[in-house]
Amino acid sequence: MPKLDNFVAIDWLSGPDKIYFFFKDTDTYSRFDIGNNKVPAGYPAPTRGNWDAFDPHTKDLLFGFTTTSSSLKNGLFDEDIAWLFFYDADTPTVCKYNQDKDKVSGFYKVADTHWSPILPYFDEIIAATWEGPRSGNSVIRFLLKGARYLSFHGTKHTLTLHKFGNDRLGALLPYHERIITAAKNDRIFADDYWYIFLTNNQYLVYNMDEDKLESGPHYVNEGNWPGLLRG
């Protein structure tokens, strides 16, 4: 069985919802179509030539997430933007990727952006997700090493450090040392799910609205993630 190890998952909200998986050891990626519940033919594919100006940095991607302006009216976020965080040489950098145009809008030093409060924790961040749009808030959760997480308020630009179980995410405590990456399924008529991928080809289904572990751990296979293990 192919091993899921050094990879990053990113949710995609423009058009039919998707999750992109970046496999950094091979500099390839796959697209999981949530509605069709499968990775279509042709994946994994080379990142080169498919990610606009972000191409040279895909193998350095650390974490990322998507926001949309539908519920955020202060201009902080554009519509359907993927925020992709990486090191450019020794500099923490974020790529603002416009999903609607499938094009890079710009590269910025994290220190020069609204994301600057996360800099002291940059090397400890494993994954992140935005709690909107249905929740109507602008909070981004960053999972950290050491069974901790950050709550970043996008409109107030405030950052709070928590431990798993102090307020939220207590169900993740037994798995904190195994978390590799995570991506959200923004379900329209049901609670949002956070797919949290673990070592040993396993994953958790976390209910974001009810703050509980919905199920798992499960093994990734052709029954639940068709095409994801395709070589």
Contact 69, 77 (CB under 8 A): yes
Report field, pTM of the whole predicted structure over 0.85: yes
Q: State the pLDDT confidence band at 2, using cuts at 50, 70 and 90.
A: low
Helices (H) and strands (E) in the chain, counts: 0, 16
Q: What is the mean pLDDT of the chain?
A: 91
What pLDDT, in 10s, does the model give residues 164-218? 998 889 999 999 999 999 999 976 656 889 999 999 999 999 999 899 999 999 9
Contacts of 94 (CB under 8 A, 6+ apart): 83, 84, 85, 86, 107, 108, 110, 113, 115
The token pair at 97 is 């990727």
**What residues does each domain of the chain span?**
7-126+179-219
67: left (phi over 0), alpha (psi -120 to 50) or beta: beta
pLDDT exceeds cutoff 70 at 73: no
